[in-house]
Amino acid sequence: MLKVNTFSTMLCRWFWLGLFIGPVSAGVIYTWVDENGVTHYSQQAPQQENIKAEKLYSEDLEQAKVGFIAPVKKAKATSEANELEKSAALIKEKDAKQAQSICESAKHNLDILTTHTKLIRQTSDSGESVAMTEEDRQASIAQQQERIKLFCDKK
């Protein structure tokens, strides 16, 4: 019984020591600007005596946030969007069957684009088949979603 108690006591002491060792080991960071205007940071003071180094203490430094800012899509120009909406409204008004056909086609294309990742398309120039890149697929998805928004009735 005595050995287990001694082991657990020693383990507990190491645990507490580990918790408090971090702040105690904080150090000095030296910063200085050399004759070329380059700023240096080091844990050791500069070797040259004529250089005046400033001392920074690591526990006083505030850590910066790590990460990145996600890219934001730029909104389409409102005049271009208004022209598309006007054009779609004109088609819907003059030919409801055509608008319905565009809607159904866009829904079908979107279904294919979202359920399949390896697609082949024909080029408009030569009509030959080429593999569709992920960028092309995403652009096509956005285009079909726009067509659905413009030509399908909201229910």
Q: What span, in angstroms and rounded, lies between the C-alpha atoms of 85 and 78?
A: 10
Q: Which residue has the higher pLDDT, 67 or 93?
A: 93
Cα dihedral value 58, 54, 31, 52, nearest 10 = -160
Whether residue 125 lies inside any domain: the answer is yes
Average pLDDT, the chain: 79
Q: Which residue has the higher pLDDT, 71 or 105?
A: 105
Say what the pLDDT of residue 106 is. 92
Whether residue 109 lies inside any domain: the answer is yes
pTM of the entire predicted model: 0.46
Whether residue 40 lies inside any domain: the answer is no
Say what the pLDDT of residue 50 is. 81
Say what the pLDDT of residue 85 is. 84
Give the tokens for residue 69.
Answer: 């800012």
Backbone angles phi, psi at 5, to 5 degrees: -65, -40
Whether residue 82 lies inside any domain: the answer is no
Whether residue 106 lies inside any domain: the answer is yes
Q: Any idea how long the chain is?
A: 155
Domain that holds residue 113: 95-151
Say what the pLDDT of residue 43 is. 86
Give the tokens for residue 92.
Answer: 């819907």
Q: How many domains does the chain have?
A: 1
In sequence order, what are the residues at sequence separation of 6 or more whose Cβ sits closer than 8 angstroms to the Cβ of residue 84? 146, 150
Whether residue 10 lies inside any domain: the answer is no
**pLDDT average, residue stretch 81-92:** 81
Q: Is the C-alpha dihedral spanning 129, 130, 134, 138 positive or negative?
A: negative
DSSP-assigned beta bridge partners for residue 131: 120
Whether residue 118 lies inside any domain: the answer is yes
Whether residue 78 lies inside any domain: the answer is no
With cut-offs at 50, 70 and 90, classify the pLDDT of residue 141: very high
What percentage of the chain reaches a pLDDT higher than 70?
A: 79
